[in-house]
Amino acid sequence: MLALPPTAGLHVATIGQRPLRVSERLKEARETRNLSYRQIADATKLSVHVIRALEEERVSALPPGIYRRALVRAFAEEVGLDPESTLKAYL
């Protein structure tokens, strides 16, 4: 019997050989769904500034702790990513 690696059958988005960072996943998911920053902002009640900061990994522009986690969850859910696994990868 052929033993498959633990990630066999799972899709992991990559750039070249490196897995995408959470910020890249968020941006890619938003762009794939043809959603603008304004559409995400309106749906999540996040500011465009916060959405761009998440996509650009500008952590200093984001609130700390539990607030930052809530932002990541909201953005991920709106663009169709699993909020919990996205948050886990973010931390």
pLDDT digits 0-9 by tens, 8-49: 333 445 455 556 789 999 999 999 999 999 999 999 999 999
Average pLDDT, the chain: 83
Looking at residue 19, what DSSP letter applies? E
Torsion of CA 64, 40, 73, 54, to 10 degrees: -40
Q: Looking at per-residue confidence, does 77 or 16 come out higher?
A: 77
Spatial contact of 50 and 42, defined as CB atoms under 8 Å apart: no
Backbone angles phi, psi at 14, to 5 degrees: -135, 160
Over range 72-82, report the average pLDDT.
96
The pLDDT of residue 91 is 81
The tally of CA atoms less than 13 A away on the side-chain side of residue 51 is 26
Q: What's the whole-model pTM score?
A: 0.77
**Can you tell me the mean pLDDT for 58-63?**
91
